Amino acid sequence: MGTTNRSLHADVLVIGFGKGGKTVAATMGRLGKRVVLVERSARMYGGTCPNVGCVPTKALVHHSRKRRPEDVPQEWYERSVGEVQALTKLFRGGNYDGLNSMDTITVITGTAAFTDPHTVSVDSGDGRVTITAETILINTGSQPIVLDIPGLRTSQYTVTSTELIDTTILPGRLAIIGGGYLGLEFASIYGQFGSQVTVLEAAPKIFGLVDDDVAAVAEGILVDEGIEIITGASTTEIRDGETSATVVYEADGRQHTLEADAVLAATGRAPATRNLNLEAAGVRTTQRGAVEVDEHLRSSQPHIFALGDVNGGPQFTYISLDDSRIVLDQLIGEGKRSTADRVAIPHTVFITPPLATVGITEAHARANGYRVKIASQPVADIVAMPRAYIVEDTRGMMKFVLDAETDEILGAALLSVDAQEMINTVSLAMRHGIRAAELRDAVYTHPTSTEAFNDVLATVVRSDV
Protein backbone atom coordinates (compact mmCIF):
# COMPACT_ATOMS: atom_id res chain seq x y z
CA MET A 1 0.00 0.00 0.00
CA GLY A 2 1.49 3.34 -1.04
CA THR A 3 1.77 6.27 1.28
CA THR A 4 -0.66 9.14 0.87
CA ASN A 5 -0.50 12.84 1.58
CA ARG A 6 -3.67 14.52 2.77
CA SER A 7 -4.71 17.84 4.23
CA LEU A 8 -7.13 18.68 7.01
CA HIS A 9 -8.42 21.94 8.42
CA ALA A 10 -9.52 22.17 12.04
CA ASP A 11 -11.01 24.77 14.31
CA VAL A 12 -8.92 23.29 17.12
CA LEU A 13 -5.80 21.13 16.79
CA VAL A 14 -4.58 19.34 19.91
CA ILE A 15 -1.05 17.90 19.87
CA GLY A 16 -0.79 15.21 22.55
CA PHE A 17 -3.56 13.13 24.11
CA GLY A 18 -3.16 14.26 27.74
CA LYS A 19 -5.76 15.17 30.36
CA GLY A 20 -5.95 18.89 29.55
CA GLY A 21 -5.97 18.51 25.77
CA LYS A 22 -8.53 15.71 25.63
CA THR A 23 -10.87 17.64 27.94
CA VAL A 24 -10.78 20.72 25.69
CA ALA A 25 -11.09 18.51 22.59
CA ALA A 26 -14.19 16.74 23.92
CA THR A 27 -15.87 20.00 24.97
CA MET A 28 -15.18 21.76 21.66
CA GLY A 29 -16.24 18.67 19.72
CA ARG A 30 -19.58 18.56 21.54
CA LEU A 31 -20.09 22.21 20.57
CA GLY A 32 -19.76 21.21 16.91
CA LYS A 33 -16.23 22.50 16.37
CA ARG A 34 -13.95 20.57 14.02
CA VAL A 35 -11.23 19.06 16.24
CA VAL A 36 -8.14 17.08 15.29
CA LEU A 37 -6.13 15.39 18.02
CA VAL A 38 -2.65 14.01 17.24
CA GLU A 39 -0.95 11.45 19.50
CA ARG A 40 2.43 10.02 18.58
CA SER A 41 1.99 6.68 20.38
CA ALA A 42 -0.97 4.30 20.24
CA ARG A 43 0.01 3.33 23.79
CA MET A 44 -0.54 6.85 25.12
CA TYR A 45 -4.19 7.61 24.36
CA GLY A 46 -5.30 9.49 27.47
CA GLY A 47 -1.82 10.72 28.35
CA THR A 48 0.72 9.84 31.04
CA CYS A 49 -1.68 9.29 33.94
CA PRO A 50 -3.77 6.30 32.76
CA ASN A 51 -0.94 4.67 30.80
CA VAL A 52 2.42 5.06 32.54
CA GLY A 53 1.77 7.38 35.50
CA CYS A 54 -0.82 7.59 38.24
CA VAL A 55 -3.08 4.66 37.32
CA PRO A 56 -0.51 1.87 36.83
CA THR A 57 1.77 3.00 39.65
CA LYS A 58 -1.07 3.29 42.19
CA ALA A 59 -2.42 -0.07 40.99
CA LEU A 60 1.04 -1.54 41.63
CA VAL A 61 1.00 0.00 45.14
CA HIS A 62 -2.29 -1.84 45.71
CA HIS A 63 -1.06 -5.18 44.32
CA SER A 64 2.29 -5.01 46.14
CA ARG A 65 0.51 -4.59 49.48
CA LYS A 66 -1.69 -7.66 48.86
CA ARG A 67 1.30 -10.02 48.61
CA ARG A 68 1.36 -12.51 51.48
CA PRO A 69 4.58 -14.02 52.86
CA GLU A 70 3.85 -17.35 51.13
CA ASP A 71 3.44 -15.74 47.69
CA VAL A 72 6.51 -16.19 45.47
CA PRO A 73 7.71 -12.62 44.69
CA GLN A 74 8.42 -13.14 40.96
CA GLU A 75 5.10 -14.94 40.32
CA TRP A 76 3.12 -12.37 42.27
CA TYR A 77 4.84 -9.49 40.50
CA GLU A 78 4.35 -10.97 37.02
CA ARG A 79 0.65 -11.57 37.69
CA SER A 80 0.27 -8.05 39.13
CA VAL A 81 1.91 -6.41 36.08
CA GLY A 82 -0.43 -8.42 33.81
CA GLU A 83 -3.50 -7.23 35.73
CA VAL A 84 -2.31 -3.64 35.74
CA GLN A 85 -1.62 -3.73 31.99
CA ALA A 86 -5.15 -5.02 31.41
CA LEU A 87 -6.46 -2.07 33.43
CA THR A 88 -4.42 0.51 31.50
CA LYS A 89 -5.52 -1.06 28.19
CA LEU A 90 -9.15 -0.64 29.28
CA PHE A 91 -8.59 3.02 30.16
CA ARG A 92 -6.66 3.62 26.95
CA GLY A 93 -9.43 2.15 24.80
CA GLY A 94 -12.04 4.20 26.66
CA ASN A 95 -10.06 7.39 26.10
CA TYR A 96 -9.67 6.69 22.37
CA ASP A 97 -13.28 5.65 21.77
CA GLY A 98 -14.62 8.55 23.84
CA LEU A 99 -13.14 11.05 21.39
CA ASN A 100 -12.84 9.16 18.10
CA SER A 101 -16.50 8.11 18.23
CA MET A 102 -17.56 11.77 17.93
CA ASP A 103 -18.26 12.92 14.35
CA THR A 104 -16.52 16.24 14.97
CA ILE A 105 -13.25 14.78 16.30
CA THR A 106 -10.51 13.00 14.35
CA VAL A 107 -7.73 11.20 16.23
CA ILE A 108 -4.51 10.73 14.26
CA THR A 109 -1.63 8.60 15.51
CA GLY A 110 1.69 10.05 14.40
CA THR A 111 4.48 12.51 15.14
CA ALA A 112 3.62 16.19 14.72
CA ALA A 113 5.96 19.06 13.87
CA PHE A 114 5.13 22.69 13.10
CA THR A 115 5.83 24.05 9.62
CA ASP A 116 4.40 27.54 10.36
CA PRO A 117 2.33 29.16 13.16
CA HIS A 118 -0.96 27.66 11.91
CA THR A 119 0.27 24.45 10.26
CA VAL A 120 1.47 21.12 11.55
CA SER A 121 2.82 18.21 9.54
CA VAL A 122 2.12 14.72 10.91
CA ASP A 123 4.02 11.60 9.91
CA SER A 124 1.34 8.97 10.54
CA GLY A 125 3.17 5.89 9.32
CA ASP A 126 0.94 5.45 6.25
CA GLY A 127 1.54 8.92 4.90
CA ARG A 128 1.85 12.57 5.76
CA VAL A 129 -1.05 14.63 7.02
CA THR A 130 -0.88 18.44 6.87
CA ILE A 131 -3.21 20.09 9.39
CA THR A 132 -4.02 23.78 9.52
CA ALA A 133 -5.93 25.17 12.48
CA GLU A 134 -7.23 28.43 13.93
CA THR A 135 -6.36 27.40 17.49
CA ILE A 136 -3.60 24.97 18.48
CA LEU A 137 -3.09 23.28 21.87
CA ILE A 138 0.27 21.78 22.78
CA ASN A 139 -0.32 18.97 25.28
CA THR A 140 2.68 16.71 24.75
CA GLY A 141 3.50 16.18 28.42
CA SER A 142 6.89 15.29 29.84
CA GLN A 143 9.40 12.47 29.64
CA PRO A 144 11.83 10.96 32.15
CA ILE A 145 15.21 12.66 32.49
CA VAL A 146 18.16 10.27 32.29
CA LEU A 147 21.18 12.17 33.59
CA ASP A 148 24.43 12.21 31.65
CA ILE A 149 26.26 10.00 34.16
CA PRO A 150 28.97 7.84 32.50
CA GLY A 151 27.42 4.51 31.50
CA LEU A 152 23.89 5.33 32.67
CA ARG A 153 22.29 6.00 29.29
CA THR A 154 24.04 3.09 27.58
CA SER A 155 23.68 0.46 30.33
CA GLN A 156 21.41 -2.48 29.48
CA TYR A 157 20.27 -2.43 33.12
CA THR A 158 19.07 1.21 33.14
CA VAL A 159 15.29 1.69 33.09
CA THR A 160 12.94 4.65 33.25
CA SER A 161 9.77 4.45 35.34
CA THR A 162 7.82 3.70 32.14
CA GLU A 163 10.09 0.78 31.25
CA LEU A 164 10.22 -0.61 34.79
CA ILE A 165 6.44 -0.98 35.16
CA ASP A 166 6.39 -2.64 31.74
CA THR A 167 8.81 -5.40 32.66
CA THR A 168 7.49 -8.69 34.04
CA ILE A 169 10.79 -9.67 35.68
CA LEU A 170 11.05 -8.47 39.28
CA PRO A 171 14.57 -7.06 39.87
CA GLY A 172 16.19 -8.88 42.79
CA ARG A 173 18.25 -5.76 43.53
CA LEU A 174 16.93 -2.38 42.42
CA ALA A 175 19.09 0.76 42.58
CA ILE A 176 17.12 3.99 42.31
CA ILE A 177 19.03 7.13 41.30
CA GLY A 178 16.99 10.01 42.69
CA GLY A 179 15.19 10.19 46.03
CA GLY A 180 12.45 12.55 44.91
CA TYR A 181 8.80 11.61 45.17
CA LEU A 182 8.91 9.40 42.05
CA GLY A 183 11.96 7.51 43.30
CA LEU A 184 10.48 7.02 46.77
CA GLU A 185 7.13 5.80 45.43
CA PHE A 186 8.94 3.20 43.35
CA ALA A 187 11.15 2.26 46.31
CA SER A 188 8.01 1.62 48.37
CA ILE A 189 6.32 -0.40 45.60
CA TYR A 190 9.28 -2.60 44.64
CA GLY A 191 10.41 -3.11 48.23
CA GLN A 192 6.97 -4.49 48.97
CA PHE A 193 7.05 -6.77 45.91
CA GLY A 194 10.28 -8.25 47.30
CA SER A 195 13.12 -6.35 45.62
CA GLN A 196 16.14 -5.29 47.65
CA VAL A 197 15.98 -1.53 47.12
CA THR A 198 18.70 1.12 47.50
CA VAL A 199 17.92 4.80 46.91
CA LEU A 200 20.80 7.14 46.03
CA GLU A 201 19.93 10.80 46.59
CA ALA A 202 22.39 13.63 45.94
CA ALA A 203 20.69 16.06 48.36
CA PRO A 204 21.50 15.92 52.09
CA LYS A 205 18.00 14.63 52.92
CA ILE A 206 14.94 13.07 51.33
CA PHE A 207 11.43 14.51 51.69
CA GLY A 208 13.06 17.92 51.47
CA LEU A 209 9.74 19.69 50.84
CA VAL A 210 8.31 18.91 54.29
CA ASP A 211 9.42 19.85 57.81
CA ASP A 212 12.19 17.77 59.39
CA ASP A 213 9.87 16.13 61.96
CA VAL A 214 7.53 14.85 59.23
CA ALA A 215 10.44 13.85 56.97
CA ALA A 216 12.00 11.80 59.80
CA VAL A 217 8.79 9.80 60.35
CA ALA A 218 8.32 9.24 56.61
CA GLU A 219 11.92 8.11 56.14
CA GLY A 220 11.63 5.85 59.18
CA ILE A 221 8.64 4.08 57.62
CA LEU A 222 10.61 3.31 54.44
CA VAL A 223 13.72 2.21 56.36
CA ASP A 224 11.60 -0.05 58.59
CA GLU A 225 10.35 -1.75 55.43
CA GLY A 226 13.92 -2.60 54.47
CA ILE A 227 14.65 0.17 51.97
CA GLU A 228 18.22 1.46 52.08
CA ILE A 229 18.41 5.23 51.64
CA ILE A 230 21.77 6.89 51.04
CA THR A 231 21.70 10.69 51.01
CA GLY A 232 24.51 12.97 49.90
CA ALA A 233 25.28 10.32 47.28
CA SER A 234 26.64 11.42 43.92
CA THR A 235 26.39 8.65 41.30
CA THR A 236 29.54 8.75 39.15
CA GLU A 237 29.39 5.69 36.89
CA ILE A 238 27.38 2.64 35.85
CA ARG A 239 29.45 -0.36 34.74
CA ASP A 240 27.75 -3.30 33.02
CA GLY A 241 28.64 -6.83 34.05
CA GLU A 242 27.35 -10.06 32.53
CA THR A 243 24.36 -10.41 34.85
CA SER A 244 24.20 -7.13 36.76
CA ALA A 245 25.37 -3.54 36.86
CA THR A 246 27.87 -1.98 39.23
CA VAL A 247 26.74 1.43 40.41
CA VAL A 248 29.64 3.63 41.51
CA TYR A 249 28.82 6.55 43.82
CA GLU A 250 30.55 8.96 46.17
CA ALA A 251 29.31 9.65 49.68
CA ASP A 252 31.04 10.90 52.83
CA GLY A 253 34.07 11.76 50.69
CA ARG A 254 34.62 8.12 49.73
CA GLN A 255 33.83 6.01 46.69
CA HIS A 256 31.38 3.12 47.07
CA THR A 257 29.95 0.46 44.75
CA LEU A 258 26.61 -1.27 44.63
CA GLU A 259 25.45 -4.25 42.55
CA ALA A 260 22.03 -3.99 40.91
CA ASP A 261 19.87 -6.04 38.53
CA ALA A 262 18.10 -2.86 37.44
CA VAL A 263 18.96 0.83 37.76
CA LEU A 264 15.98 3.18 37.81
CA ALA A 265 16.70 6.71 36.59
CA ALA A 266 14.30 8.74 38.74
CA THR A 267 15.73 12.25 38.51
CA GLY A 268 12.63 14.03 37.26
CA ARG A 269 10.77 14.63 34.03
CA ALA A 270 11.36 17.27 31.37
CA PRO A 271 8.79 18.92 29.04
CA ALA A 272 8.50 16.99 25.76
CA THR A 273 9.04 19.73 23.16
CA ARG A 274 12.20 18.72 21.33
CA ASN A 275 10.69 17.34 18.09
CA LEU A 276 7.82 19.81 17.69
CA ASN A 277 9.88 22.30 15.64
CA LEU A 278 8.49 25.16 17.74
CA GLU A 279 10.84 27.65 16.06
CA ALA A 280 8.82 27.33 12.84
CA ALA A 281 5.73 28.35 14.79
CA GLY A 282 7.45 31.23 16.56
CA VAL A 283 6.73 29.66 19.94
CA ARG A 284 9.24 30.54 22.66
CA THR A 285 10.47 28.00 25.20
CA THR A 286 12.11 28.39 28.61
CA GLN A 287 15.64 27.24 29.48
CA ARG A 288 14.21 23.89 30.59
CA GLY A 289 12.48 23.41 27.24
CA ALA A 290 8.96 24.17 28.46
CA VAL A 291 6.57 26.18 26.31
CA GLU A 292 6.61 29.72 27.74
CA VAL A 293 3.03 30.71 28.69
CA ASP A 294 1.20 33.60 30.36
CA GLU A 295 -1.37 33.23 33.15
CA HIS A 296 -3.98 32.22 30.55
CA LEU A 297 -1.66 29.54 29.14
CA ARG A 298 -1.14 31.37 25.83
CA SER A 299 2.29 30.97 24.29
CA SER A 300 4.21 33.73 22.52
CA GLN A 301 1.74 33.06 19.68
CA PRO A 302 -1.69 34.08 21.08
CA HIS A 303 -3.56 31.33 19.18
CA ILE A 304 -1.27 28.59 20.52
CA PHE A 305 -1.83 27.35 24.09
CA ALA A 306 0.18 24.88 26.18
CA LEU A 307 -1.44 22.62 28.78
CA GLY A 308 -0.09 20.13 31.30
CA ASP A 309 3.52 19.18 32.00
CA VAL A 310 4.76 20.73 28.75
CA ASN A 311 4.14 24.29 30.01
CA GLY A 312 6.57 23.90 32.91
CA GLY A 313 3.94 24.13 35.66
CA PRO A 314 3.43 21.55 38.42
CA GLN A 315 3.53 18.05 36.90
CA PHE A 316 0.20 16.71 38.10
CA THR A 317 -2.79 15.40 36.14
CA TYR A 318 -5.18 17.54 38.18
CA ILE A 319 -3.22 20.67 37.21
CA SER A 320 -3.57 19.65 33.56
CA LEU A 321 -7.33 19.32 34.12
CA ASP A 322 -7.40 22.81 35.62
CA ASP A 323 -5.36 24.03 32.64
CA SER A 324 -8.23 22.85 30.43
CA ARG A 325 -10.66 25.03 32.39
CA ILE A 326 -8.43 28.08 31.85
CA VAL A 327 -8.12 27.42 28.11
CA LEU A 328 -11.85 26.73 27.68
CA ASP A 329 -12.59 29.98 29.49
CA GLN A 330 -10.40 31.72 26.89
CA LEU A 331 -12.03 29.95 23.94
CA ILE A 332 -15.71 29.94 24.93
CA GLY A 333 -15.99 31.68 28.31
CA GLU A 334 -15.37 35.08 29.84
CA GLY A 335 -11.57 34.80 29.76
CA LYS A 336 -11.21 35.58 33.47
CA ARG A 337 -9.84 32.31 34.81
CA SER A 338 -6.05 32.15 35.23
CA THR A 339 -3.26 30.21 36.92
CA ALA A 340 -3.24 32.91 39.62
CA ASP A 341 -6.59 31.53 40.86
CA ARG A 342 -4.91 28.40 42.17
CA VAL A 343 -4.72 28.46 45.95
CA ALA A 344 -3.94 25.62 48.37
CA ILE A 345 -3.21 22.99 45.73
CA PRO A 346 -2.62 19.65 47.50
CA HIS A 347 -0.03 17.01 46.65
CA THR A 348 0.35 13.35 47.61
CA VAL A 349 3.33 11.03 47.42
CA PHE A 350 1.98 7.48 47.38
CA ILE A 351 4.33 5.71 49.69
CA THR A 352 2.43 3.56 52.19
CA PRO A 353 0.88 5.17 54.14
CA PRO A 354 0.64 8.17 51.79
CA LEU A 355 2.17 11.56 52.57
CA ALA A 356 -0.19 14.35 51.53
CA THR A 357 0.67 18.03 51.88
CA VAL A 358 -0.87 21.42 51.22
CA GLY A 359 0.16 25.01 51.89
CA ILE A 360 3.42 25.96 53.56
CA THR A 361 5.63 24.23 56.12
CA GLU A 362 6.40 25.41 59.65
CA ALA A 363 9.93 26.37 58.54
CA HIS A 364 8.55 28.40 55.62
CA ALA A 365 5.92 30.09 57.81
CA ARG A 366 8.50 31.13 60.42
CA ALA A 367 10.91 32.35 57.73
CA ASN A 368 8.11 34.53 56.36
CA GLY A 369 7.41 36.18 59.69
CA TYR A 370 4.22 34.38 60.73
CA ARG A 371 3.50 33.85 64.41
CA VAL A 372 2.57 30.19 64.31
CA LYS A 373 1.01 27.51 66.44
CA ILE A 374 1.51 23.85 65.63
CA ALA A 375 -0.97 21.01 66.06
CA SER A 376 0.74 17.66 65.62
CA GLN A 377 0.16 14.04 66.65
CA PRO A 378 1.41 10.56 65.78
CA VAL A 379 -1.40 8.55 64.16
CA ALA A 380 -1.06 5.85 66.83
CA ASP A 381 -1.98 8.46 69.49
CA ILE A 382 -5.06 9.86 67.75
CA VAL A 383 -7.93 8.53 69.88
CA ALA A 384 -10.58 9.75 67.45
CA MET A 385 -9.13 7.73 64.55
CA PRO A 386 -10.01 4.05 65.09
CA ARG A 387 -9.99 3.60 61.32
CA ALA A 388 -6.18 3.37 61.42
CA TYR A 389 -6.48 0.43 63.84
CA ILE A 390 -9.30 -1.16 61.82
CA VAL A 391 -7.17 -1.29 58.67
CA GLU A 392 -4.10 -2.25 60.75
CA ASP A 393 -1.86 0.65 59.85
CA THR A 394 -1.23 3.16 62.63
CA ARG A 395 2.02 4.46 61.20
CA GLY A 396 2.60 8.13 60.48
CA MET A 397 1.66 11.52 61.88
CA MET A 398 -0.45 14.58 61.15
CA LYS A 399 0.75 18.14 61.42
CA PHE A 400 -1.02 21.46 60.96
CA VAL A 401 0.70 24.85 60.75
CA LEU A 402 -1.68 27.57 61.98
CA ASP A 403 -1.51 31.35 62.11
CA ALA A 404 -1.45 32.13 65.84
CA GLU A 405 -3.25 35.46 65.33
CA THR A 406 -6.06 34.46 62.95
CA ASP A 407 -6.37 30.64 63.46
CA GLU A 408 -5.98 30.38 59.69
CA ILE A 409 -4.60 27.09 58.36
CA LEU A 410 -1.28 27.89 56.67
CA GLY A 411 -0.39 24.33 55.78
CA ALA A 412 -0.73 20.66 56.65
CA ALA A 413 1.22 17.43 56.26
CA LEU A 414 -0.78 14.24 56.65
CA LEU A 415 1.22 11.01 56.71
CA SER A 416 -1.41 8.36 57.32
CA VAL A 417 -3.95 5.93 55.96
CA ASP A 418 -6.37 7.85 53.68
CA ALA A 419 -4.19 10.99 53.70
CA GLN A 420 -4.72 11.32 49.93
CA GLU A 421 -8.45 11.84 50.60
CA MET A 422 -8.26 13.92 53.78
CA ILE A 423 -5.92 16.49 52.26
CA ASN A 424 -8.69 17.56 49.86
CA THR A 425 -10.88 18.55 52.84
CA VAL A 426 -8.03 20.62 54.30
CA SER A 427 -7.41 22.26 50.92
CA LEU A 428 -11.08 23.16 50.54
CA ALA A 429 -11.08 24.68 54.04
CA MET A 430 -7.98 26.73 53.23
CA ARG A 431 -9.41 27.98 49.93
CA HIS A 432 -12.56 29.22 51.64
CA GLY A 433 -10.95 30.73 54.74
CA ILE A 434 -12.35 28.15 57.15
CA ARG A 435 -10.45 28.43 60.42
CA ALA A 436 -8.76 25.57 62.25
CA ALA A 437 -11.35 25.70 65.06
CA GLU A 438 -14.15 25.03 62.57
CA LEU A 439 -12.31 22.07 61.07
CA ARG A 440 -11.61 20.84 64.63
CA ASP A 441 -15.25 21.07 65.75
CA ALA A 442 -16.90 19.80 62.55
CA VAL A 443 -19.05 16.64 62.61
CA TYR A 444 -17.47 13.79 60.63
CA THR A 445 -18.78 10.28 60.02
CA HIS A 446 -17.40 7.48 62.17
CA PRO A 447 -15.24 5.43 62.02
CA THR A 448 -13.31 7.40 59.40
CA SER A 449 -9.91 8.97 59.04
CA THR A 450 -11.17 12.53 58.65
CA GLU A 451 -12.45 12.61 62.23
CA ALA A 452 -8.80 12.61 63.29
CA PHE A 453 -9.06 16.38 62.76
CA ASN A 454 -11.26 16.53 65.89
CA ASP A 455 -8.30 15.31 67.93
CA VAL A 456 -5.25 16.67 66.17
CA LEU A 457 -6.49 20.25 65.95
CA ALA A 458 -7.37 20.21 69.64
CA THR A 459 -3.73 19.52 70.43
CA VAL A 460 -1.69 22.66 69.97
CA VAL A 461 1.68 21.28 71.05
CA ARG A 462 3.85 24.27 70.17
CA SER A 463 3.03 27.90 69.88
CA ASP A 464 4.69 31.28 69.62
CA VAL A 465 1.93 32.79 71.71
- Mark the binding-site residues, compressed into ranges: 58, 140-142, 178-185, 201, 268, 309
Q: Residues within the annotated binding site for FAD?
A: 58, 140-142, 309
Please state, in angstroms and rounded to a whole number, the distance separating the CA atoms of residues 20 and 320. Answer: 5
Distance CA 364, CA 401 (A): 10
Length of the chain: 465
Note if 347 is an active site residue: no
CA distance 299 to 293: 4
Active-site pick, 9, 118, 347, 446: 446
Q: Round to whole Å and give the CA distance between 249 and 232.
A: 10
Measuring CA to CA, which residue among 113, 126, 95 is closest to residue 15? 113
Q: 355-359 and 409-415 as β-strands: parallel, antiparallel, unpaired?
A: antiparallel
Residues at the annotated binding site for NAD(+)? 178-185, 201, 268
**What is the spatial distance between Cα 47 and Cα 404, in angstroms, rounded to a whole number?**
43
Residue type for position 46: G
Contacts of 66 (CB under 8 A, 6+ apart): none
CA distance to 161, 202, 257, 270, 303, per residue, from 179 (Å): 13, 8, 18, 17, 39
Residue 400 bridge partners (DSSP): 375, 412
With 0-12 / 13-18 / 19 or more C-beta atoms within 10 angstroms meaning exposed / middle / buried, residue 296 is middle
Which residues are designated catalytic? 446
